[in-house]
Amino acid sequence: MRVVLTWRDKVEHCIYDLAFKPDGTQLILAAGNRLLVYDTSDGSLLQPLKGHKDTVYCVAYAKDGKRFASGSADKNVIIWTSKLEGILKYTHNDSIQCVSYNPVTHQLASGSSSDFALWSPEQKSISKHKSSSKITCCSWTNDGQYLALGMFNGIISIRNKNGDEKVKIERPGGSLSPVWSICWNPSREEHNDILAVADWGQKLSFYQLSGKQIGKDRSLNFNACCISYFTKGEYILLGGSDKQVSLFTKDGVRLGTVGEQNSWVWTCRAKPDSNYVAVGCQDGTISFYQLIFSTVHGLYKNRYAYRDSMTDVIVQHLITEQKVRIKCKELVKKIAICKNRLAIQLPEKILIYELYSDDSSDMHYRVKEKMVKKFECNLLVVCADHIVLCQEKRLQCLSFSGVKEREWQMESLIRYIKVIGGPPGREGLLVGLKNGQILKIFVDNPFAIVLLKQATAVRCLDMSASRKKLAVVDENDTCLVYDIHTKELLFQEPNANSVAWNTQCEDMLCFSGGGYLNIKASTFPVHQQKLQGFVVGYNGSKIFCLHAFAMSAVEVPQSTPMYQYLDRKMFKEAYQIACLGVTDTDWRELAMEALEGLEFETAKKAFTRVQDLRYLELINSIEERKKRGETNNDLFLADVFSYQGKFHEAAKLYKKSGHENLALDMYTDLRMFEYAKDFLGSGDPKETRMLITKQADWARNINEPKNAVEMYISAGEYVKAIEISGDHGWVDTLIDIARKLDRAEREPLLMCARYFKKLDNPGYAAETYLKIGDLKSLVQLHVETQHWDEAFALGEKHPEFKEDIYMPYAQWLAENDRFEESQKAFHKAGRQKEAVRVLEQLTDNAVEESRFNDAAYYYWMLSMQCLDIAQDAAQKDAMLSKFHYFQHLAEMYHGYHTIHRYTEEPFSSHRPETLFNISRFLLHNLSKDTPVGISKVITLFTLAKQSKALGAYKLARDAYEKLRGLRIPARFQKSIELGSITIRAKPFHDNEELVPLCYRCSTNNPLLNNLGNVCINCRQPFVFSASSYEVLHLVEFYLEKGITDEEAVSLIDLEVPRHKRENRCQEITSNNSQTLRLDETVGCMGDDPFTAKLSFEQGGSEFVPVVVSRSVLRSMSRRDVLIKRWPPPLRWQYFRSLLPEASITMCPSCFQMFHSEDYELLVLQHTRCPYCRRPIDGPSL
């Protein structure tokens, strides 16, 4: 710290107090009975103020700068404006000792020998409070809430804004230690209000607002007359009987003397927000000093240590921005740092610190050694095991124990010293002298080594990382760079005040001066940018700059020196610079330049830095090619240019190196087809076609299919043209292509045909198939489009395709419920098994879905199909067995359809007799196995209900009894239980009219026949109507052996005239049916040979069929006989009507028998046979 006297003046009277205007421009002095106003800039007296009649003891300025107050021995307080005009006066009972303005409310406190007063501009009256002792001083807290009063009896009273006492501090000295001056710390950073107290017991003390003392009393060895803080509260000024002003830290550590005087110092204050101090003395001397706080610091690489608050040392890591504070509690005079050592010189000792660990980011220091001895030196250097003291021309090397080991005497004053590294105990020092000499000293060597000598004095020094170059800043602000070995001056630059080599790059240094930072690489021109302060270090891309009292790390991109190297194609050196820190753009530029210069190693590193995999792949491929023996640099450079987008340059190099095909590939890959055509000129047509094809590929990829198709056609790539046209549905284009193609180009034509089919243009597809003669595909086309007529016509001409036609046709018919046609189609295709399988599946589905009428129809169709297959001798027996089984199932499901509808639907159109007959018919056939879907419960339930309705009570009771042994569905449970109870009230017999009659033996059969649907007497099977299920008056007869069906028909047709039969029966035969109608019932049967045959053969336990001879056949009338003309291998069946008056109709397709009236009604309703669904055109039968 240096103290500079700015100005001084002397007046006749003692100066008891002074106050600065808040802006620092004016200084108000209390001198005698006047106030003196000085200009602080030059010490000129602006104006004396007269208002008091006696000595002025105190003066204070308001924080807002609008007014100030003065107190005098004349018991008056005068308020003055900033324009130096008195505006208000009030009095006390005794002389005024102190005045102080509230920093927030601007309330004025004034203290006298017996009381104190509070006044504010808003109040008309003055609030006064008595005091038990003389008030010597007063001070407000920062927030203006409390006022501290110092008293002559040694007591400190802390009052609130209303004057009420809140805290009373009684000091140990009592009245023997009058409190002469107090002051609150103005710092806003302190957590608590701190009151500094100076008394005439020669003590300095600190208190909290609560009255608690902070620390112990500090002995002063003089009577303190005044105490005041700097604006920010970091320092304290004390003056008194020792005739000087002392500077203390805020904690009370004495730092030094501001200015020595010839008499007591009654007042001293710091100028607001500055380092200027005003001092007023007993002899009337007023002095104005400037305090210059020198920077005490040290730097080693990225660690910077500096003094803070005069007694603390802060070590800052310039890279991580970490900081650590070391509190010394004494004035720090010198600091030195090197590697893991830190030396701090205090007034009476030197402390040596070391790092806890070798971690480069560790910031924890601990005391290693204490050298308790007072040292005087200009510069201090610390090494691993020594400290070096610089004293004018002499250097002393001391161990940490304080033993002097070595001493060097220089020829001139030492201006600069720096540790430049070395092993522990053998470090090297770089020393610069005022006479221009530069030396290197090793701490273990008593002899200094002269590096070089220049004509001008040394101001700053630095050595390059490899110790080959030396940079010197001389007193003329010139930076000079030397080669250490040759002593040659390499270059020099003006306007330098400090210099530093880059620790990571040998050829880079920076120097500062004139507000600029200068960066120089090698011998290239200097790059400048604005920078305030001094350069003290250069590490990579960071420049450490000291500005005022702060050290900062400035990130400086190394772009300019890098480009300077690039301009000279010095790629490796440019890469080294880039590693120090450049932008991604700079890295990419370096990579590109190195790549163009074929410096692949540097380019690879740079591209790796920017993570450009594309160029790294290129470099790797070129390196692989070089390993294989390629040496054509033009070809390598052409690849580089093509990657960079310099396509024309690349094409020229490809051509130059004899690789025109690579240039052509490049243009086509880039879709630069016009350039490719220009490059080709009038070359090979094959190359031209290839180019057009690639152009078409590109047009296709960018979604320009029309252009692509045209180009493909022109290039002869018909397959791709067809593919695009087909995908976009362009039928016209496909037609043009198909008609343009030769029939030998089969693959493209087949593609056209496939797209025609896909686009629903079968006509063009057929035309294409015909063109190439692909008849099988043509057949498939007709089948897929269901153009059956064209398919059949083609099948007639080419029988080998019949199966390919009729098989899908049959499936299509079956899917469309056209089963008769489907059967024919299956037959034509020769696939009877498939037909049977399809019909079986349909039948199963119908049963599963309770469509029993359809099931009956499908089973009939199956039986007929099996009969057709039975013509094959190998399958005859199996198929005939299936035929009879399916015929049986068809009859069962046909009848059960009516029963099912009766139980499922609320109303039925069938007569009770029909339901009664069907139930009996089913029960007689259910004696063995029950077909799937047919319910015995429903059948018995229907029989019971209809029997009860028709008077067959016994049969109804039997049905209900049988139901009791079956599992009954819940929905029939109540009905059956009720029926079982109510039937017991009926007679136990059946209506005789319901009993069936056998027309062969005239035997009455029971309603429930254990033998089934045959007569219990003659065992003749009953023939039932397929609609009402009544027993028909028909008797089946068989032909004698040797009589063929054709002979039998011819014999029956030779009808012999009947005797005495006037009204004969009429036989009506049509394509649809065969009907026997008798117009008169009266006739004589006694002479009928058939009737005689019946009576002769009836009786017996075994069934004896009726066998007729030729004579009996001749006696029969064609109108009385019905013939079931089954196809082979079945024989025909013959039935004779025994009641010719009752008309019976037989369907010629399914051979089912009906009462003619029933059949006519059903045909009128459905226009088809109710059993086999054979269509019938008209109602006439």
**Containing H/E element for 1002?**
none
Distances (CA, A) of 813 to 255, 788, 807, 823, 824: 120, 11, 10, 9, 10
Q: Please give the full DSSP string across 228-280, using - where no structure is assigned.
A: EE-TTSSEEEEEETTSEEEEEETTS-EEEEEEE-SS-EEEEEEPTTSSEEEEE
Determine which of 161-170, 595-604, 658-667 has the lowest per-residue pLDDT on average: 658-667
Residue positions counted in the chain: 1181
26-50 average pLDDT score: 93
Distances (CA, A) of 45 to 41, 56, 267, 277, 666: 11, 18, 18, 17, 90
pLDDT band at 634 (very low <50, low <70, confident <90, very high): confident
Give the ranges where 268-355 is alpha helix by DSSP (H).
none
Give CA–CA dist 463/454, Å, rounded. 16
DSSP helix/strand/coil, 397: strand
- Supply 739's token pair: 């008609």
pLDDT of 1074 over the 70 cut: no
pLDDT of 849 over the 90 cut: no
Partners of 1021 in the β-ladder: 1014
- Supply 106's token pair: 């601007």
Tally of CB atoms within 10 A around 773: 10
DSSP helix/strand/coil, 840: helix
Distances (CA, A) of 927 to 656, 896, 936: 105, 15, 10
pLDDT of 1091 over the 80 cut: no
434-473 burial string, b = 16+ CB within 10 Å, else e?
bbbbbbbbbbbeeebeebbebeebbbbbbbbeeeebbbbb
1141-1147 average pLDDT score: 88
At 1156, give phi and psi (nearest 5°): -60, -40
Q: Please give the full DSSP string across 776-823, using - where no structure is assigned.
A: HHHHHHHHHTT-HHHHHHHHHH-GGGHHHHHHHHHHHHHHTT-HHHHH
Of the candidates 459, 348, 469, 364, the residue with the CA atom closest to the CA atom of residue 402:
348
pLDDT band at 8 (very low <50, low <70, confident <90, very high): very high
Give CA–CA dist 337/307, Å, rounded. 13
pLDDT tens per residue across span 215-229: 898 999 899 999 999
Give CA–CA dist 705/723, Å, rounded. 10
Partners of 1066 in the β-ladder: 1077
The verdict on pTM exceeding 0.75 is: no
Report the relative pairing of strands 297-300 and 15-20 from DSSP bridges.
unpaired
Contact 240, 225 (CB under 8 A): yes
pLDDT tens per residue across span 522-540: 888 888 888 888 888 888 8
Give CA–CA dist 515/545, Å, rounded. 12
Report the relative pairing of strands 155-160 and 297-300 from DSSP bridges.
unpaired
Contact residues for 533 (Cβ-Cβ < 8 A; gap 6+): 512, 545, 546, 547, 548, 552
pLDDT score, position 677: 53
pLDDT score, position 942: 87
Tally of CB atoms within 10 A around 148: 26
Report the relative pairing of strands 458-463 and 365-371 from DSSP bridges.
unpaired
pLDDT band at 691 (very low <50, low <70, confident <90, very high): low
Give helix 802-815 / helix 788-797 axis angle, nearest 10°: 150
Give CA–CA dist 691/673, Å, rounded. 7
Contact 742, 768 (CB under 8 A): no
Q: Which residue has the higher pLDDT, 56 or 611?
A: 56
Contact 812, 824 (CB under 8 A): no
Q: Which residue has the higher pLDDT, 835 or 595?
A: 595
pLDDT tens per residue across span 854-901: 888 888 888 887 888 888 888 888 888 888 888 888 988 888 888 888
Helices then strands, counting H and E runs in the chain, come out as 30, 63
pLDDT tens per residue across span 891-929: 888 888 888 888 887 777 788 888 888 888 888 888 677
pLDDT of 1045 over the 60 cut: yes
pLDDT of 1063 over the 50 cut: no
pLDDT tens per residue across span 978-1002: 888 888 888 888 888 888 888 888 8
Determine which of 102-106, 252-256, 456-460, 594-598 has the lowest per-residue pLDDT on average: 594-598
Average pLDDT, the chain: 82
pLDDT tens per residue across span 745-790: 777 777 777 776 676 667 776 777 677 667 777 766 666 776 766 7
Contact 509, 580 (CB under 8 A): no
- Supply 446's token pair: 């008593």
Angle in degrees, CA 136, 140, 146, rounded to 5: 110
Give CA–CA dist 574/580, Å, rounded. 10
pLDDT band at 39 (very low <50, low <70, confident <90, very high): very high
Where does residue 595 rank: exposed (0-12), middle (13-18), buried (19+ CB within 10 A)? buried
pLDDT score, position 670: 59
